Chains A and B, each alone.
Chain A
Amino acid sequence: MMSGVMNPMTPQQSRSQVVDAARQVVATLGLEVVEAWFWHSACNSRGDPPFRGHMRIGYPLAGSYEAANAQITLMAATLQRAGWSADPTFHSHAPALKNNNVIVILRPQDPNAATRGVEILGECRDMTTTIEGRGPVQPVNLS
């Protein structure tokens, strides 16, 4: 088992951390939210604590992959003006930005998905949630 983290969060705090960040991202980008999902995600393959809050926001597809890319580049720039910045320790093939220790990833357009995705990852500080007890993926109302 993990021996613990500094400054643990409650499951509710870890949920609020990403839901608040999601609201901020949606407002900053003026995103039209088609769907939004929250879940507690284990910060390892084993399903052991710590857990983090995790979200996926679905917004409408662009006309093409290229158009989506152009928009995503603009979205990243907009977020940077709003205080989000690159995190050199976080490796991703998609644009990833950090603010108050929350990571936002702007996923590319998936030809097989009904929406485009923005992913939000909170901090790995929730030592209370268990993999068995975390429950199903929850829809979130961001409006």
Chain B
Amino acid sequence: MTLGPGDIDRWDAEQVRAVARAARSRAESASAVSAALRQLPVIEAWSGLAARAARVAIDLTRLALDAHAEESRAVARAADRAAEEIERVKSRLRSLDSDARAAHLIVDRVTGTVIPDTEFQGNSAQFATAADPILIRLSGILADATAIDDELARAISDTAIGLREPNAAVAAAGPEERKAWWGSLSRIAKDQLLERNPEALGNCDGIPAADRSRANVTVMARDIDRIASIAADYGVLVDDVAGEPERFGLSTTDVVRYTNAQRVSEGLDYTQSQTGTEVYLFVYRPQEFGGQGRTAIAIGDPDHAGHTAVVVPGTGNNVANGWLAHSDDATNLYAETLAATGPGPGVSVLAWMGYDAPDSLVDPRVSQTLLARQGGALLAADVNALNVTHHGPTHVTVVGHSYGATTVADAAAGHRMQADDIVLVGAPGTDLARAASDFGLPAGGHVYVGSASTDPITNLAGMSGRVPGVGFTTEPIGLGADPAANGFGSTRFKAEVSGWTLGSWGDHEHYFDSGSESLFSIADIASGHGAALQEHGMTAAHRDSILGPFASRLGLPDWSIPILDPELPRPATSGHYHHPRPSAGP
């Protein structure tokens, strides 16, 4: 709305300053409450599930309070600015009135124009000559006044949204609601929140990957700096501080966070240099799983990718021992999937070290399903969060290796993970999923399986109650059905390994090797071209009992029936080579 000179007369800069003072006072109150919540002594000492739940609730409240404080400060700043502008505009209008009077003219408040006073002497041409400069100045003043008015109104209404939404949306804590809340904030407000509350926002499902990553990288950098800066201040080595943190006023938690932050930072550097593309720190929880850490790095923006794949590693891997930097699984898959995809918005691959994997092959938990089921819940939540913030059509493939394959099966069959396709490589069993139909995939979705005939881990699948080397446990052992077996309902692809010397892990660790049948096939699937496996000669026959359909009638335990793997006598294939897909390609 355009203002008139009468509106400017009625403006009162002092009233606007009073608004600024009230907003600032409200900001200070909110900040004080937030700070007090952070410093509650009980929070430091309290442990257990209830404490954890309380901490989450307190974090969310602090997030809302801090957001409230920041928005209030923004109003205060806008109001102060507006008050100054108002005074300037009023002064310019007074000066214009004075100049007009000297020329026997009046700036008319009713019509918003310039008229002659009773003493004006002259004809209409002389009036126009005198009035035009006054009119030009008046229109400039009115335009500025309108802009000030609009800006103040926008600042207040933006803030009204900001003040109203975070409490409701964040407290509800559903990814969709968080997305709506985040989307309602101005970019400035988002930037301020990311700066002030990175701990609360970095792992907040419903917030875009790029914003989560900014927050998580901020927290990671602080975790590194906390120890590095103390070492610099005292002139000692970082290892000295990490070895005796208490001497420097730090805790072992600070050391765990530092160590894992370094691992994650190395992982980010490696994946970025290896692929040349942008990487995102999608999940960063360095203290989880007894200090082994929970993290996911996305190579390429998962919110805008045409195809997204999530790589779930298996036994023996965690953040603390460096999987993110040490393994090329995700970067190799990224490069091959990009090549198999063709033109479009690009791809994203998540290196997902988001669950507590068994520590080693002699960890009793390796033959039990507990960690897979717990991990499945976390995986399902992270994958489903990807879907919430994604723009445009998407195709999500979740790829599980080794114990990670069991975790993927449990995420799909037990926790409603929303994936389009599933890939299981080196799978020791599918626990809650007894068949491909249990994965709950949409129409057109498939469970694809890569099991090298010479991979000893895949030969454990289908067994129960007998896993070599872990017989001392009293818990039920065995990880479930073999997805490569006939009747499971999977599509098996070729995954044989050529030219390798067998070690204790044998051919269990070559599914993501550059140039392998397996990586080539997984890229076909992750790029949405699973049907091309046939065309590329990459499908393989399923395993079957050597006794065929008679096996089930004999009443023998599963493990005692010899399995025939038609892939065993076949050497790895050769001759698979493709030029880049043309733009009109499938």
Contacts and interface: CB of A to CB of B under 8 A. Distances in A.
Interface of A: 1-5, 35, 37, 39, 41-48, 54, 56, 58, 65-66, 69, 72-73, 86-96, 103, 105, 107-108, 110-117, 119, 121, 131-132, 136-137
A113 B523 CA distance: 19
B346 to A, nearest CB: 4
B273 A45 contact: no
Contacts, number: 158
B570 interface: no
Given A3-B503, A46-B316, A112-B277, A72 B580 contact: yes
A105 B119 CA distance: 90
Nearest to B532: A93
Nearest to B503: A2
Nearest to A132: B322
A48 B509 contact: yes
Nearest to A103: B515
Interface of A is mostly: loop
A37 B274 contact: yes
A58 B503 contact: no
Given A3-B503, A91-B577, A45 B509 contact: yes
B568 to A, nearest CB: 19
Given A2-B501, A107-B339, A86 B577 contact: yes
B519 interface: yes
13 contacts: A37-B273, A41-B328, A42-B326, A42-B327, A44-B509, A45-B509, A65-B342, A72-B580, A92-B515, A93-B340, A116-B276, A119-B335, A137-B273
Contacts of A69: 579-580, 582
B393 to A, nearest CB: 16
Interface size class of B (residues with CB under 8 A): 35 or more
A94 B338 CA distance: 9
B211 interface: no
B146 interface: no
A73 B582 CA distance: 12
Nearest to A107: B335
Residue among A45, A46, A115 with max Cβ neighbours from chain B (10 Å): A45
Nearest to A106: B580
Interface in B208-255: none
Contact of B520 (A44, A91, A131): A91
A115 to B, nearest CB: 5
Contacts of A4: 501
A66 B523 contact: no
A38 to B, nearest CB: 9
B583 interface: yes
Contact of B277 (A37, A44, A110): A110
B338 A108 contact: yes
Interface string B508-532: 0111111111011001100100000
B505 A46 contact: yes
Contacts of A119: 335
Nearest to B271: A137
Given A39-B273, A107-B338, A108-B338, A93 B520 contact: yes
Contacts of B578: 92-94
